[in-house]
Amino acid sequence: MRTLFVCSLDLMRTCRSSILMLLLAWTMPLAAEEEAATSSILLRAVTVTYDLEKSVHFYRDILGQEVVTWEELDPERSSAWLDISPEARVTFVVLAGSGEYPGGVVTGGRIGFVGIEDPAYQRESRLGGGRGKDGDMILPHRVSNLDTIYEKIQAAELEVLFPPRVTGTGLSRNMMVIDPNGHIVELFELFPGRPPEE
């Protein structure tokens, strides 16, 4: 009789464990769905511009980035998120940069533009006057040949906030310029070895 009682207790413990496991298994998918993590990856910074030619010239011809996307968008569909007329021409352009640095090739982020030509609305891109106001965007770029880029920027008569100089850390030189859309662009070049004495 004692043996039977022990078996019954073992059976009850096993059943209780099984029931608990079934309940946990049943609620697990719900808990997993409720606790799903949110993730986000910034693909590119995109600027709406009314002077696409100047924007592409700056990033492609002065900074040496490559155009990887150039496509015309449907104005009717684009009017859901752009203030344009049905006659507008909307162009989407993406540029990507990369460079050969000590340690190998470095591929950077991408910058995009939504270029608008709209006969119904004559507008200009915001030019100059930017000194880090509320809502402004700063676009840092690691570059090579900073002095050559600086010469091209001067030839293009873009607003330079400050010319190339050694940074506070002493590990690189940088400069800042206003791009054709009014954004502050920081250009910095790392010293390959020890920084030169000033």
pLDDT band at 191 (very low <50, low <70, confident <90, very high): confident
In this model, does residue 8 exceed pLDDT 70? no
* Residue-by-residue DSSP string for the chain: -HHHHHHHHHHHHHHHHHHHHHHHHHHHHHHHHHTPPP-----EEEEEES-HHHHHIIIIIIT--EEEEEEEEPHHHHTTTS---TT-EEEEEEEEEEEEETTEEEEEEEEEEEEEE-TT-------S--SS-TT--EEEEE-S-HHHHHHHHHHTTPPEEEEEEE-TTSSEEEEEEE-TTS-EEEEEEE-SSSPPP-
In this model, does residue 149 exceed pLDDT 60? yes
pLDDT > 90 fraction of the chain, expressed in percent and rounded: 51
Where is pLDDT greater, at 187 or 2?
187
For 57-110, how does the pLDDT look when each residue is reduced to its tens digit (9 = 90+)? 999 999 999 999 999 999 999 999 999 999 999 999 999 988 776 677 778 889
The pLDDT score that the predictor gives to residue 6 is 45
Mean pLDDT along residues 123-149: 77
The pLDDT score that the predictor gives to residue 11 is 46
pLDDT > 70 fraction of the chain, expressed in percent and rounded: 73
Where is pLDDT greater, at 46 or 33?
46
In this model, does residue 118 exceed pLDDT 50? yes
Where is pLDDT greater, at 49 or 125?
49
The pLDDT score that the predictor gives to residue 121 is 85
In this model, does residue 34 exceed pLDDT 80? no
Of 32-46, 74-88, 121-135, give the lowest mean pLDDT range: 121-135
